[in-house]
Amino acid sequence: MSRHWHDLHSPASRASLYLRAASKRKISADRLPGDGLRCLIGVQPDNLAAYRRLCHFADDGRLPATYPHVMAFSLQLQLMTADDFPFPLLGLVHLHNRIEVLRPLGAIEGLRFAVYTDNLQAHAKGGTFDLVTEAEDGIGLLWRETSRMLVRGLKLEGGADEPAEDEPAALPEATRWYADSDIGRRYAKVCGDYNPIHLSAASARLFGFPTAIAHGMWSKAMALAALRGHLPHSGYAFEVGFRKPVRLPSEVVLSASEAGPQGTLRLDGHSGVLHMVGHWEPL
């Protein structure tokens, strides 16, 4: 596909983007737009410090591998609330997230981001597409994220069966943490993701959840921070699939392989609830 790029001086305000998201409730088409957005976005030191505290990352002079996702979040919102984007933002479900760290994320004051959508496919519950975010410095590409999103109710030709989800093997416990009832609001304040399903039980019930649920990218960031000694500084991918949501408040247990060039992880709750599975590997 020949992609048409729009270069921005800065993303639109999040308040205006959320108003646009709230106004769209129906699927309007079954094709992804061919446009992408690009923008230079600077690191905000106070926000970075707050993110490190929230997700338990050490201040080692490098950006946490999940932090460029936070930097690019408004740009992602702008892409998915544009007039030509066919799906309502508030109905999307984040199924899977892969982050690739191609080069070390140190000594960075800003990054040039590019965001676009790709790979629309049929799914048993509708359809999926990939939201791709890439970050460059003055040398070239150094970070990439691919988020697979589910569009419930989308009808595409050549329907698909729901993919089988294998139960991952038991692993040694690495750590555990308590996701308290306000972690969704605290994450939203730092990262800008104010999806109502994360903010309170009352707002979550409007979307069919009995309680608020933790942000998937908070769970991934907490796992990445806990496993920082397992990973190199660069040249790796860290990939997770989101299973059952973490209902707030609750305790979760992270289990993982031993440190090494590749390994697997899982995040479990009580009563046998599996929240997240994943792995890391060299690029």
**Domain coordinates of the chain in residue numbers?**
1-164, 165-283
Q: How far apart are CA 1 and CA 121, in angstroms?
A: 16
Torsions phi, psi for 35 (to 5 deg): -90, 155
Tell me, what amino acid is at 146? T
Highest CATH level, class, for 165-283: alpha beta
The pLDDT of residue 160: 67
Averaged pLDDT for residues 264-269? 97
CATH homologous superfamily of 1-164 equals Hotdog Thioesterase (3.10.129.10)
Name the band, by pLDDT with cuts 50, 70 and 90, for residue 163. low
Identical fold for domains 1-164 and 165-283, yes or no, is yes
Torsions phi, psi for 225 (to 5 deg): -65, -40
pLDDT digits (tens, 9 = 90+) for 206-260: 888 899 999 999 999 999 999 999 999 999 999 999 999 999 999 999 999 999 9
pLDDT digits (tens, 9 = 90+) for 93-150: 999 999 999 999 999 999 999 999 999 999 999 999 999 999 999 999 999 999 999 9
Peptide bond into 68 cis (omega under 30): no
Q: How far apart are CA 52 and CA 68, in angstroms?
A: 13
Are 237 and 145 in contact, with CB atoms under 8 Å apart? no
54-83 in b/e burial notation, b at 16+ Cβ within 10 A? bbebeeeebbbbbbbbbbbbbbbbbbbbee
The least confident of 31-35, 67-71, 168-172 is 168-172
Count other C-beta atoms under 10 Å from residue 161's C-beta: 8
